[in-house]
A and B are shown apart, each in its own frame.
Chain A
Amino acid sequence: GNSVTQMEGPVTLSEEAFLTINCTYTATGYPSLFWYVQYPGEGLQLLLKATKADDKGSNKGFEATYRKETTSFHLEKGSVQVSDSAVYFCALSEETSYDKVIFGPGTSLSVIP
């Protein structure tokens, strides 16, 4: 079945460090791909998305590129801030069942001053 795999956390970085959170997926066809972020005590928020191969989603300094050939959608940010501390979820919606989103397990990020 379709699934999403993320790098295990927690990830701890110093402020201004470069961030990469790996995400790979298994799906048939051409799914849409998403990154969601969950700050402490809150619900998940859509961070960025990409709907076709080679698309780059970006928001708030975060970027991710839809790589069909490697079935990946890695999240990157050039310089993290303490306020980026959160849990990040990679997710996909199937091409033929767009209404149902499959979430990865989440990766916790802590940024220290």
Chain B
Amino acid sequence: DAGVIQSPRHEVTEMGQEVTLRCKPISGHDYLFWYRQTMMRGLELLIYFNNNVPIDDSGMPEDRFSAKMPNASFSTLKIQPSEPRDSAVYFCASSVYWSGYTFGSGTRLTVV
């Protein structure tokens, strides 16, 4: 298996623009997680899905953030409009019962 695949690896955008991050989980994994990592705040859980259904989005910082999982093999995290304080590394992870998480390589987002 190719593991959890995220795209793009790097994204540089101007403040106010829409940003879409993509994730392909491991086939057969029924949980998908979106995390944000910064030096100041560490690793933060934004939202997670079970069988494509959002279970907990309490970590989503503002209405500017939204996430979807239209099918078992694809998820997006969208920021609209983006702000400089959104600059971070965004990770997607997937798992199956008790297996522990498998993380993607992350998307490094820079908003200027």
Q: Tell me the A residues contacting B by CB distance below 8 Å.
A: 32, 34, 36, 41-46, 49, 51, 89, 98-101, 103, 105-106
Contacts and interface: CB of A to CB of B under 8 A. Distances in A.
13 contacts: A34-B100, A36-B101, A43-B4, A43-B91, A43-B103, A44-B93, A45-B103, A46-B100, A46-B101, A49-B100, A98-B98, A103-B43, A105-B42
Interface size class of B (residues with CB under 8 A): 20 to 34
Contacts of A100: 45, 48, 56
Contacts of B97: 98
Given A99-B31, A100-B48, A89 B43 contact: yes
A46 B102 contact: yes
A6 B4 CA distance: 27
B104 interface: yes
Contact of A44 (B45, B55, B103): B103
Contacts of B106: 42-43
Given A34-B100, A49-B100, A44 B48 contact: no
A72 to B, nearest CB: 19
B50 interface: yes
Contacts of B45: 100
Contacts of B103: 43-45
Given A99-B50, A105-B42, A44 B101 contact: yes
B105 A43 contact: yes
Nearest to B92: A43
B95 interface: yes
Contacts of B31: 99
A41 B105 CA distance: 8
Contacts of A89: 43
A36 B97 CA distance: 17
Contacts of B98: 32, 51, 98
Given A89-B43, A98-B97, A43 B56 contact: no
A99 B48 contact: yes
